[in-house]
């Protein structure tokens, strides 16, 4: 079980940190992949959106859409930001 | 899982691509997926990709009021609904994602 | 098939069709669910005395009123109001002003969050 | 003045309102006004406001390729054109404004 | 004759000042009226967009659409930003 | 009825249908006018080796090539490239890299500027 999953779409519009809980899961999609987050945070990125933009994101942070669906399934809820 | 997607973005947007790929992946994983089109999302009803996903199992609903307002006449594979209909779909859904 | 705690979160595009559609969705959802409509960041401008008709958008007054009748809560972010120096209109339904922290709690407790 | 507006924004946007009001004002001032719809602007062809402006003198053109792509079938008061057609309209225009 | 007329649509997306010439004319429209410019600059705002948003902008800075068209007519060119 | 100096200025939405449509417009306009297509700010990402097909967008290669054949100029902002640390793709048409100041001059000299 994961907590809230945040799907972040834009590099310049991010939920404020007080909204995020320790166990929350951040998934960067669309242009948000242009702004990878710090190493110590719990985040991943949509692999296809990364590759489409030819951005460098560590391989182990990149998820297929099927893997994103698996995380969504386990989430308590999903917030698309 | 019973996944519901509310789509209010236009069909030539990043959201359209994201929604099509997410639905496709969810159907691959044998989830039950429904989509509800409203506002500028209604124009997506004119794209082949949605019809193709419907043929693979996606259930398609739309806000009849917004469709009429935009002079969109959806084909019969899409089901006419309302904001109250959306509320009912939310009741049955395990997860609700909105794109606008 | 339970009634859910739903939050409609309006965070941008305050003077647009989007806010009109978001509120229409909120009214519909409030018939079946426990609804909280929360305005944060630029979203709080939507609760000022703006004039949608002047820019070709339908007024939101009826939706705000209907939310009150459906016992939905309407909430605005205190910090966003202060930072922007905006004055909220006297709406037919009470608007609660809450801090960012309180709003974060509501979002954590919600089962469905629909952002606009 | 010969005013040309290129409209690529969707019809439920701030741009739509701006464009309608600017055209209306320009016609009031007896300017010659033409509009060219492309991309998501094609959906504007379905709104009454554009037809009404056409009846007041607005000349309406659209990119046939984008219309077909979006499955929009404009009425006969709108003239089918292309990007080359737009280039020609730009030649005649005193001012060109784009909204996208 | 006025120089280039800039129609600015968004409060957070503004042409850089090196692009603007002294004689240029700035017209704030849509949500850009939320960010009135300094007193000493040559700018005006779309009156209807100001009133729709219930923003305070000095009366003599507010133009009707007809007045905006008159400025556009006199401009050397118009850039919608 | 003269040939005009037209600038198509791509300043945002680099990975979108908008850039595809902007370039299509530029190709059409270059048949009749002196065309400069200028990429500034985030627009410069459009000139990197991105993969539009992966996100459901048509590739822009043909438009870039056609612009070269029509003798249109393609220009990218030096500062925007440097700040973003991006590497431009080897396009079939030469891309000139110019400073902000030089680009401002081109915009001043243009008769028509179409921003995207």
Residues of C in contact with E53 (CB under 8 A): 15, 45, 50
Which pLDDT does position F1 carry in this prediction? 56
| The CATH classification of domain C5-115, taken from the options 3.40.50.300, 3.50.50.60, 3.30.1960.10, 3.40.1260.10 | 3.40.1260.10
Q: Answer whether residue E56 shows pLDDT above 60.
A: yes
Q: List the single residue in E with minimal CA-CA distance to C87.
A: E54
* ipTM attached to this prediction: 0.96
Residue-range domain boundaries for chain E: 2-80
CB C5 within 8 A of CB C112: yes
Residue E40 has pLDDT above 90, yes or no: no
What's chain B's average pLDDT? 98
Residue among A30, A75, A78 minimizing CB distance to B18:
A30
* DSSP character at residue D32: E
Residue F56, pLDDT > 80, answer yes
Q: Name beta bridge partners: D19.
A: none
Gap between the Cα atoms of C30 and C50, Å rounded: 24
Residue from D56, D3, D61 nearest D32 by CA = D3
D22 touches chain E (CB under 8 A): yes
Which chains would you list as touching A if contact means 3+ CB atom pairs under 8 Å? Answer: B, C, F
Among candidates F21, F16, F63, E80, which has minimal Cα distance to D39? F21
Over residues D6-50, the pLDDT tens digits come to 999 999 999 999 999 999 999 999 999 999 999 999 999 999 999
Shortest Cα distance from F103 to chain A (angstroms)?
A: 25
Which has more pLDDT, C2 or F3? F3
Six-digit token string for B79: 């089901």
CA atoms of A6 and A81, how far apart (whole Å): 7
Assigned superfamily of E2-80: DsrEFH-like (3.40.1260.10)
pLDDT 10s digits, B27-84: 999 999 999 999 999 999 999 999 999 999 999 999 999 999 999 999 999 999 999 9
Those residues of chain A that have pLDDT short of 50 are none
Interface of D with C in 7-36 (CB under 8 A): 12-14, 16-17, 20
Rounded Cα distance between D22 and E27, Å, is 13
Mean pLDDT of F86-114: 97
What is the structure's pLDDT at E20? Answer: 87
Tally C–E CB contacts below 8 A: 21
What size, in residues, is chain E? 81
- The residue assigned the tokens 């595809």 is F20
Do the beta carbons of residue B86 and residue C28 sit within 8 Å? yes
Using CA atoms, how far apart are residues B55 and B76, in angstroms rounded to an integer?
12
Structure tokens at B85: 């209909």
Whether residue C1 has pLDDT greater than 60: no
Mean pLDDT, all residues of chain C: 97
**Is the full-model pTM beyond 0.80?**
yes
- The C-alpha angle B64, B69, B73, rounded to 5 degrees, equals 60
Looking up tokens 């991943």 gives A44
Alpha-carbon Rg of chain D, whole angstroms?
12
pLDDT class of E1 with cuts at 50, 70, 90: low
Identify the residue whose tokens are 């010659």: D32
């Amino acid at each position: 079980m994961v907590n809230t999953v945040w799907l972040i779409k834009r590099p310049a519009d991010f939920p404020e940190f007080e909204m995020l809980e320790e166990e929350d899961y951040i998934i960067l999609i669309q242009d948000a992949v242009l702004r990878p987050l710090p190493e110590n945070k719990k985040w991943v990125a949509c692999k296809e959106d990364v590759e489409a933009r030819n951005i460098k994101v560590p391989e182990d942070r990149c998820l297929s859409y099927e893997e994103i669906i698996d995380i969504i399934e386990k989430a308590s809820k999903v917030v698309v930001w | 899982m019973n996944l519901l997607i509310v789509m209010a973005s236009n069909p030539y947007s990043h959201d359209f691509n994201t929604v099509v790929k997410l639905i496709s992946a969810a159907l691959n994983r044998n989830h039950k997926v429904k989509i509800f089109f409203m506002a500028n999302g209604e124009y997506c009803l004119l794209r082949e990709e949605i019809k193709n996903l419907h043929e693979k199992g996606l259930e398609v609903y739309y806000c009849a009021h917004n469709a009429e307002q935009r002079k969109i006449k959806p084909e019969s594979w899409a089901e006419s609904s309302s904001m109250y209909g959306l509320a009912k779909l939310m009741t049955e859904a395990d997860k609700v994602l909105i794109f606008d | 098939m339970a009634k859910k705690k739903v939050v409609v979160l309006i965070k941008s595009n305050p003077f647009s069709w989007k806010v009109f559609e978001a509120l229409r969705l909120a009214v519909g959802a409030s018939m079946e669910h426990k609804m909280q409509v929360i305005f944060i960041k630029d979203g709080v401008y939507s609760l000022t005395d703006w004039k949608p008709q002047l820019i070709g958008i339908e007024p939101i007054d009826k939706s705000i009123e209907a939310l009150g009748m459906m016992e939905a809560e309407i909430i605005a972010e205190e910090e966003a109001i202060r930072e922007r120096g905006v004055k909220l209109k006297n709406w037919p339904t009470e608007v609660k002003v809450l801090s960012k922290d309180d709003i974060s709690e509501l979002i954590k407790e919600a089962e469905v969050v629909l952002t606009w």
